[in-house]
Amino acid sequence: DGGITQSPKYLFRKEGQNVTLSCEQNLNHDAMYWYRQDPGQGLRLIYYSQIVNDFQKGDIAEGYSVSREKKESFPLTVTSAQKNPTAFYLCASSILSGDNSPLHFGNGTRLTVT
């Protein structure tokens, strides 16, 4: 079964620590994305990547970093510079073509920083 796997589902960290969230897809999609979701809010784009070894900042990239060394994987690091890191983080992927196509989402990682 193809899909997007995010791990872990729940993550707890102390303030000042960096933490890396995993995202793997076996859909053979070119593009991958990281979104942040806060209670009662729409999704906000952190970073996205359309091809291996390349990525672009989204609307709220400050305090985050990503890498795209493999097509299947797009890990997100939440650094200690992120002022309000507690949130639900969603990874997504899509094919790239001349037409638009929908994003396919993982089931998220809930990060709590205390």
Partner 1 sequence: GESVGLHLPTLSVQEGDNSIINCAYSNSASDYFIWYKQESGKGPQFIIDIRSNMDKRQGQRVTVLLNKTVKHLSLQIAATQPGDSAVYFCAENIGVGGSQGNLIFGKGTKLSVKP
Q: Given the rule CB under 8 A, which residues bind partner 1?
A: 4, 6, 31, 33, 38-45, 48, 50, 56, 58, 90, 92, 94-108, 110
Residue closer to partner 1 by CB (options 9, 70) is: 9
**Least Å distance between CB 72 and partner 1?**
17
Residue 70 beta carbon to partner 1: minimum distance, rounded to whole angstroms: 20
- Residue 16 CB, shortest distance to partner 1, in Å, is 26
**DSSP one-letter string for 9-21:** SEEEE-TT--EEE
Which residues in 16-113 belong to E strands, given as ranges? 19-25, 31-37, 44-51, 54-57, 64-66, 76-78, 87-94, 104-105, 109-113
2 vs 39, which CB is nearer to partner 1? 39
C-alpha to C-alpha distance for 27 and 97, rounded to whole angstroms: 15
Contacting residues for 73 by C-beta, under 8 A, at least 6 apart: 22, 23, 24, 25
Looking at the Cβ atoms of 16 and 102, the one nearer to partner 1 is 102
CB 1, min distance to partner 1, A: 15
